[in-house]
Amino acid sequence: MGGSQQQSPVLLARIAEKKAELANLKDLQALSGGLADQMQMLADKLSTLSNGTEAKLPQPKEEEDSEKKAEDEPPLPQTLVRIPTQHAPAVIEQANAATAED
């Protein structure tokens, strides 16, 4: 019986450790459940929010009007591009020289 008396404090310490671990796990389970409930409520609110906004967004009328006007109006003229002429004489001389050589 002497051996069982020596193991008894070790076993009691181990049992106390496991009880503390069990209590921590139960706390974790309760917190996880609460967090899961909060996440579900948030998902429901987001779903309601997105469904509500999708249902209430009409197509802007201005786009329809501008599309109709664009179809009715004639096309715009081509864009005018201005080229600086300060270097034009030098470019003309180079072009003439290149044609004379060919």
> What residue ranges do the domains of the chain occupy?
1-71
Dihedrals phi, psi of 94, to nearest 5 degrees? -65, -40
Which of 15-19, 55-59, 67-71, 97-101 is predicted with the least confidence, judged by mean pLDDT? Answer: 55-59
Rounded mean pLDDT, 75-98: 78
Q: Measured between alpha carbons, how far is 57 from 55 in angstroms, rounded to an integer?
A: 6
Q: What is the pTM of this model?
A: 0.39
- pLDDT tens digit sequence for 55-80: 555 666 766 666 666 677 777 778 77
